[in-house]
């Protein structure tokens, strides 16, 4: 029987369990054992890290079709380095570390899917670093909104950004909430976004990157 990676990621089975999370539920917490990896079937997770003095920072937002907690595959990290919290209702496939290792070793098609994800994630991390080093906070905010709206993906972009606070956006781009509020109002006045409880992103927001 031919192995189907999408079927493997769509249902429960040996070493695999589907978890349904409500908004603000925790998939895993910083300091938990790294004994499983998670595949997001629906919804979105926020990945955060908390310092020793209690300061929290957002590292990434993980959506449908992506993995979270992949650090469990690194033996040097026996404990979680971050926390994954549901931003919306989520359906996650929890895959035990043992089952993940088995699938990667025995199923080349699944290994290709996972390696592709890791390469995409690595490229995103590099792009985040370049963005943080060279772009203005206004451009960083525009980029985050476009990413959240899934512009640039093969599928049709969502355009509507899942509910996210200005405080979280400020954490992600390294600025203050007041600056985020200023830019959001500017984007709305320019017709780049609609912002009334939810954020709807238009293609014209890309114009921010064409400005000097």
> What average pLDDT does the structure give for the chain?
89
CB 80 within 8 A of CB 32: yes
pLDDT at 156 over 60: no
pLDDT for 88-106, tens place per residue?
Answer: 899 999 999 999 999 999 9
Amino acid 81: pLDDT: 92
pLDDT above 70 covers a percentage of the chain that reads 94
Return the closest-CA partner of residue 6 out of 125, 148, 116: 116
pLDDT at 173 over 60: yes
Amino acid 135: pLDDT: 87
- Reported pTM: 0.83
pLDDT at 186 over 90: yes
pLDDT for 7-43, tens place per residue?
Answer: 999 999 999 999 999 999 999 999 999 999 999 999 9
CB 23 within 8 A of CB 85: no
The bridge status of strand 160-161 relative to strand 44-50 is unpaired
The pair of three-digit structure tokens given for residue 160, joined into one six-digit string:
């509507």
Roughly how many angstroms between the first and final C-alpha of the chain, as a whole number?
A: 56
The pair of three-digit structure tokens given for residue 174, joined into one six-digit string:
């390294």
CA 193 to CA 212: how far, in whole Å? 20
CA 183 to CA 177: how far, in whole Å? 10
Amino acid 153: pLDDT: 61
Amino acid 163: pLDDT: 79
Amino acid 147: pLDDT: 84
> Please, what are the domains in the chain?
5-129 (2.60.120.10), 135-210 (1.10.10.10)
- Mean of the pLDDT values across residues 172-192? 93
Amino acid 2: pLDDT: 85
pLDDT for 109-139, tens place per residue?
Answer: 999 999 999 999 999 888 888 888 888 999 9
Minimum mean pLDDT range among 114-118, 145-149, 173-177: 145-149
**What sign does the dihedral 117-95-9-161 (CA atoms) show?**
negative
pLDDT at 212 over 60: no
Amino acid 184: pLDDT: 94
Amino acid 107: pLDDT: 96
Q: Please report the DSSP string for the chain in residue order.
A: ----HHHHHHS-BTTEEEEEE-TT-EEE-TTSB--EEEEEEESEEEEEEE-TTS-EEEEEEEETT-EE-GGGG-TT--B-SSEEEESS-EEEEEEEHHHHHHHHHH-HHHHHHHHHHHHHHHHHHHHHHHHHHHS-HHHHHHHHHHHHTTTTSSSPP--EEPP--HHHHHHHHTS-HHHHHHHHHHHHHTTSEEEESEEEE-GGGGGGGG--
Minimum mean pLDDT range among 22-26, 60-64, 137-141, 160-164: 160-164
The pair of three-digit structure tokens given for residue 13, joined into one six-digit string:
């089975």
């Amino acid at each position: 029987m031919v192995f189907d990676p999408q079927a493997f990621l769509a249902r429960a089975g040996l070493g695999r369990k589907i978890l349904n999370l409500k908004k603000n539920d925790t998939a895993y917490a910083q300091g938990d054992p790294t004994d499983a990896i998670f595949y997001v079937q629906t919804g979105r997770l926020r990945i955060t890290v908390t310092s020793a003095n209690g300061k929290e920072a957002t590292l990434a937002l993980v959506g449908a079709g992506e993995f979270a907690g992949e650090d469990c595959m690194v033996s040097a990290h026996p404990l979680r380095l971050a926390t994954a919290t549901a931003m919306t209702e989520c359906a996650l496939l929890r895959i035990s570390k043992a089952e993940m290792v088995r699938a990667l070793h025995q199923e080349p098609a699944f290994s290709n899917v996972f390696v592709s994800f890791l390469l995409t994630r690595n490229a995103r991390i590099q792009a985040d670093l370049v963005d943080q080093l060279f772009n203005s906070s206004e451009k960083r905010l525009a980029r985050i909104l476009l990413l959240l709206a899934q512009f640039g993906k093969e599928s049709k972009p969502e355009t509507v950004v899942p509910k996210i606070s200005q405080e979280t956006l400020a954490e992600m781009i390294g600025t203050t909430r007041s600056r985020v509020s200023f830019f959001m109002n500017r984007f709305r006045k320019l017709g780049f976004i609609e912002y009334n409880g939810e954020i709807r992103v238009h293609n014209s927001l890309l114009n921010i990157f064409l400005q000097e």
